[in-house]
Structure 1
Amino acid sequence: MHSSDSSSASGHTAELRAAASRLDRRRFLTTTGAAAALAFTVNIPLGGAASAAEASASKITDNPFTLGVASGDPLPGSVLLWTRLAPRLFESGGGLPSARFTVHWELARDERFTRVARRGTVNAHPEFNHAVHVEVGGLDTDRVYYYRFRAGQWVSPVGRTRTAPAKSARLTEMRLAAVSCQAYHDGYFTAYRHLADEDLDAVFHLGDYLYEYAVTATGGARAYQDIRLPAQFNRETLTLDDYRLRYALYKSDPDLMAAHAAHPFIVTWDDHETENNYADDTPENDVPPEEFLLRRAAAYRAYWENQPLRGRQLPHGPDAQLYRRLHFGRLAQFDVLDTRQYRSDQAYGDGWQTPGPESEDPSRTMTGATQERWLTDGWRASRATWNVLPQQVTFSQRKDRTTADYKLSMDSWDGYPASRKRVLDGWQAAGRDNLLVLTGDVHVHFGMDIKQDFDDPASKTLGTEVVTTSISSGKDGVDRPGNWDTYMRANPHLKFYNGRRGYAVVTLSPDTARADFRTVSAVTTPGAPVATAASFVTEAGDPGLTPA
């Protein structure tokens, strides 16, 4: 691992050259006829006029709210509301004509809507597949609200959301959940049904909201459901229509809809929302970058359309700024990362490899130089008790064996050790306390101490990493996977490891952060109960996990 100032500077110079090369490829993309044909240059003011003719919502004959409702990115006095009109789920355009419809929305202080705080209308544009994103401001801080939509005679389910506290507010507690990896074909989203019943302030989705892989007519492992899916799902997603329909399939799941209706979500993507293990403009397979960027543009567009994201996250072609910062009073600052769009290609051809000069090259980056500076600058300015880093892939070291010939995952931060070191150096230079990293991706629960030097168990502990398992990916799983003993011995900073499906609940207070690792016994059969597999705490000012 390289640590000298000169190596760091040369690394950043090489990174900037690589970024310029990538920009040239994107300029090529935006000037091609293929990009124009895919209509990625549509730039409609959200809520403004569009080229499509208006149609009366009174003519919608079937319930258009088949995908439920959602809210997200709570700010002090503001929240984002989402829905999409799709009376016929598995048809292109949701069964609606290429016309815009007026959708009414209401936000109230009570579930019966006797005390309405805000109401208005918004256009559902065909260019956005009739999705609507309503940014509601002028609200009370730190307050629960209820919301709903109406199109013609149809009224949506009621959603529950909340605004963030004032940035200066001193709070006694915040409860959040971390979720990731929900492969429809691997089982039921039972964990979401339990998540909907949790008392939470927000849910952080850390990536792999959907998978690009084919789904059979019977829904893969969902053998108990009485449906026959159209043949269009039994292929990998490539086009904008493919991704839009795949979101319709996933978001039609009643347990996922229940979780969205119960809590505001703060989302970020990983790889499968586009393609497995892509890195910036480099695809998994041997496809020219220009061709892959067309696919990425389609995937990013469909992601924004189907998530509770604000207008500033709207993609422009194959690019979107998804990383962003949110606050929950003086208790927590959340720096939501994007570790896919700007990363260097995986070293040594990806997979689990012996680390060496290629993976340890100081020019390699997980975040890109701009996002890295944004992160460390934000830490220097932070006055929060807890600085929380919701992101995608495992941050702490994971050796796969106890012997000197160990291998590391080239897709995780282990494949980008210089980038990780720059981030941790920035954390220490900022002089902040209480770093908490939230991670998804690996389909298991991990609780880890973040070490200054992972190869020296006695080195300083800089923070804590909570890795949440998958919602369904990997099917049922087991409490102790076959490599459990090896992992625990090879990685002394690893304090907990469980291979069931579920989610993690983190409770923040001025004094402690508590992590409850929640698991369900099965996902290949519906209705499994939920249990707490283990609970750990880390004390403010004293990083490191101890059993609760």
Structure 2
Amino acid sequence: MTRIPSQHAPELRAAAQHLGRRRFLTVTGAAAALAFAVNLPTAGSAAAAELDAAKVAGDPFTLGVASGDPQPDSVLLWTRLAPKPYETGGGLPAQRVEVRWELAHDERFRRVARRGTVTAHPEFNHSVHVEVGHLAPGRVYYYRFRVGRWISGTGRTRTAPEASRRVAGLTLAAVSCQAYHDGYFTAYKHLAEDDVDVVFHLGDYLYEYAVTSAGGARAYTDRVLPDVFNRETVTLDDYRLRYALYKSDPDLRAAHAAHPFVVTWDDHETENNYADDVSENDDPPAEFLLRRASAYRAYWENQPLRRPQLPTGPDAQLYRRLVWGRLAQFDILDTRQYRSNQAYGDTAHAPGPESDDPARTITGATQERWLIDGWRHSRALWNVVPQQVTFSERKLDLTAAAKLSMDAWDGYRASRARVLAGAKAARVENLMVLTGDVHVGYAFDIKDDFDDPASRTLGTEIVATSITSGKDGAEKPSTWETYTKANPHLKFYNGRRGYVTVGLGEESARADFKTVSAVTVPGAGITTAASFVTAVGDQGLRPA
């Protein structure tokens, strides 16, 4: 369970550690600002009175249940109590609430494996994160929560296989970019019914932009959203309420209940295209870090994340490593928090001295070393990197000096070169990068030299399209012909909404790009737009 800090010392230490690159803040100024931004509890408030669970008048489980980061001997279970989700505080007083939880081998909870209680603290917006240990590896479990007479819906989760075990296969899904105001989360309805072991969310879980009373493109005629959503998220309460809006969607709740999620953020969970402490609109860094602290705090509160990911002020270590037996190692990256500011004013630009400066980084030096060291020690057949922005080169036009995106790895080519050199030095033979961000489905061969189509293929990149962002999209966007001609290593390009599943096996991997025909109207069906395979020891995407 989550431990509530009894004083500000951890946050003070974290703020002080970053004073070198944030010289505009003094120690005391940073401590006071960050404490205010995330509403940290004092020693006394953590001991606030407990609310009698019998007095919780409305269903507190309106935001559903979730699980995440499966390990061989443990699972992480999540819920947040909010009988009135569209109100600040979720309709509960600033009091502690006791929550009971159960984990069972069967859906009817006749064979309970573990049970216990956890406290939902008001300081964490009555969210709970239960780390259930001492479980059997490679098993499916069912879980639920209770508060007084209220019982949550049932969630389904699983533990990972033992790290030393040979595993024949794993099926994952990759999702990204779910702007509530751009349409219905229909793809999640289909994903909830799909047979996958784990879901990787690659960023833009929510968007900071205002949502109108009609729900944007959803154009509600049977409901009116409150005005609290019709503004950009800036404060801690803003972000908390926005998560409540998103998690009120039944299809998103169904997907969370059906599968464990592994999450990482991109930019919109905080602000569009921010880079470290540099905001999109060049706000004063001290002011932006207050906003970032609020966004990071709300993200942790509303996601199935473990204790090590709990933020301290405006900082959180989201990058982490999971293994699935000897079949796969997952190195989950954070390419927002530590990156150098985008070159050339974050506009599309041909490579030049500014973007190719060797000192530039998209991961930060510490995370880069962690990634490469992890490859050196990996025993996995597949080394998979779930991350945010397009990794492979993506020329945006057909000129000799083609423009590239300065927000993707193309704007950090020295950083990409170091990572690929590390992969080669570690003799990583089966490299796969999972990506979100761009609201289209791509399939790339990762080349040793992107300017030479005949150069060695070092791995593959699978880019998941958006759940809704960009509205309905098109099978062939307006740039389809240009991009496919300019990038011979681009094997697939589709602009519809949906998700991608990847089956990892001992001989090959298969990617299935699944799309829906529309998201601006509910209930669209799903189809497989294309399928590709890549062989173990012989990387390169081929039609299945």
Could you say whether these structures have the same fold, taking a TM-score greater than 0.5 normalized by the shorter chain as the test?
Answer: yes
Bigger shift: residues 18-27 or 378-387: 18-27
Equivalent residue letter for 1:322: L
Contact 1:29 1:290 in 2 (8 A): no
Does 2:167 correspond to 1:168? no
Contact 1:516 1:534 in 2 (8 A): yes
Q: Report the RMSD for the aligned CA atoms in angstroms.
A: 1.6
Shift of 1:362: 0.2
In 1, distance between residues paired with 2:35 and 2:18? 24
Does 2:522 correspond to 1:526? yes
In 1, distance between residues paired with 2:482 and 2:379? 40
SS at match of 1:22: coil
So what's the TM-score if we normalise by structure 2? 0.95
Change (3 A) 1:376 1:97: same
Contact 1:337 1:389 in 2 (8 A): yes
Shift of 1:453: 1.1
Aligned residue among 505, 510, 514 for 1:514: 510
Does 2:541 correspond to 1:545? yes
Aligned to 1:362: 358
**Residue correspondences, number:** 528
Does 2:30 correspond to 1:31? yes
Aligned to 2:12: none
Shift of 1:36: 3.0
Does 2:243 correspond to 1:244? no
Aligned to 1:188: 184
In 2, distance between residues paired with 1:337 and 1:39? 24
SS at match of 1:312: helix
Mapping of residues 351-390 of structure 1, within 5 Å: 351-390=347-386
Shift of 1:31: 3.2
Change (3 A) 1:115 1:399: same
Shift of 1:354: 2.0
SS at match of 2:218: coil
Aligned to 1:147: 143
Aligned to 1:288: 284
SS at match of 1:485: helix
Aligned residue among 186, 206, 211 for 2:207: 211
In 1, distance between residues paired with 2:187 and 2:38? 37
Contact 1:90 1:249 in 2 (8 A): yes
Shift of 1:232: 1.1
Shift of 1:20: 6.5
The Cα offsets for residues 308-341 of structure 1, whole Å up to 9 and x where unpaired, read as 0001100000000000000000000000000000
In 1, distance between residues paired with 2:411 and 2:40? 35
Contact 1:41 1:317 in 2 (8 A): no
SS at match of 1:284: coil
Does 2:390 correspond to 1:391? no
In 2, distance between residues paired with 1:192 and 1:225? 22
Aligned residue among 64, 81, 85 for 2:81: 85
The Cα offsets for residues 275-301 of structure 1, whole Å up to 9 and x where unpaired, read as 000000000002110110000000000
Aligned to 1:8: none
Task: Flag structure 2 segments of 5+ consecutive residues without an equivalent.
Answer: 1-16
The Cα offsets for residues 425-448 of structure 1, whole Å up to 9 and x where unpaired, read as 000000121000000000000000
In 2, distance between residues paired with 1:516 and 1:30? 51
Change (3 A) 1:89 1:112: same
Mapping of residues 443-482 of structure 1, within 5 Å: 443-482=439-478
SS at match of 1:204: strand
Aligned residue among 82, 91, 96 for 1:95: 91
Shift of 1:52: 2.1
Taking only the aligned residue pairs, the percentage that are identical comes to: 71
Change (3 A) 1:268 1:27: farther
In 1, distance between residues paired with 2:529 and 2:42? 47
SS at match of 1:177: strand
Aligned residue among 200, 215, 229 for 1:233: 229
Contact 2:322 2:331 in 1 (8 A): yes
Contact 2:38 2:294 in 1 (8 A): no
Shift of 1:503: 0.2
Aligned to 1:299: 295
So what's the TM-score if we normalise by structure 1? 0.94
In 2, distance between residues paired with 1:477 and 1:308? 30
In 1, distance between residues paired with 2:25 and 2:246? 30
Change (3 A) 1:25 1:268: farther
In 1, distance between residues paired with 2:375 and 2:263? 21
Bigger shift: residues 404-413 or 184-193: 404-413
